[in-house]
Amino acid sequence: YDRIASKVIPKRFKSPENGELIRKRHMELAGRQPDEMRRVLLDFVQSRPLYGMTIFNVMTPLFSYPFRELVSYRPGTNCILIVTERPTGTAKYVLTTEQSFTIAALINDYRDIQFEPAS
C-alpha cells in the first residue's frame, strides 16, 4: 500500500501513515458489491467542501450565498446581476465576467432540477 500511496497522494499530503490508512480502509470495504461501492464513493465525493462548485473567471470580489437565497439573476454581455434575499435584507451584486450566460444557464439548470416534482 505504501507504493500505491506514494504514486497517488500529492507530496504535500504524504505521511508515513498513509499506506496503513489505505490498507485499513481497503479491508473495511473488501467484499462489498459494486453498487454499494459506487454509493460509498459518491457519499465521499459529496462530503468534500468544494463538491458542486464551479470556478468562473469573475473580475469582482467573490461572495457565497446558499442557493435558496437567490431571488433573481440577469445575464448581460459582460456581467451578471445576482439578487439575494436574507432576513437582513436584499443584496444586489453585479459580477463582471464574459461567462455571464454560462453562469445563468447553470443557475437555471440547477433551479429546474431543484424544483422538479418528485416522480
C-alpha cell read off for 104 = 445563468
What tens-digit pLDDT sequence spans the chain (119 residues)?
787 777 777 777 788 888 888 889 889 999 999 889 988 888 888 888 777 777 777 777 777 778 888 999 999 999 999 999 988 999 999 999 899 999 998 888 877 766 655 44
Residues 37, 26 contacting (CB under 8 angstroms): no
Cβ-proximal residues to 82 (8 Å cutoff; 6+ apart), any chain: 70, 72, 73, 92, 93, 94, 95
What 3-state class would DSSP assign to 114? helix
pLDDT recorded at residue 118? 46
- At residue 119, the pLDDT reads 44
Q: Which amino acid is at 72?
A: S
Phi, psi of 73 (to 5 degrees): -155, 150
Tell me what pLDDT residue 4 has: 76
Three-point CA angle 80, 81, 83, nearest 5°: 145
Determine the residue type at 50. L
Whether 83 and 104 have beta carbons less than 8 Å apart is answered as no
* Euclidean distance between CA atoms 73 and 91, whole angstroms: 12
pLDDT at 90: 94
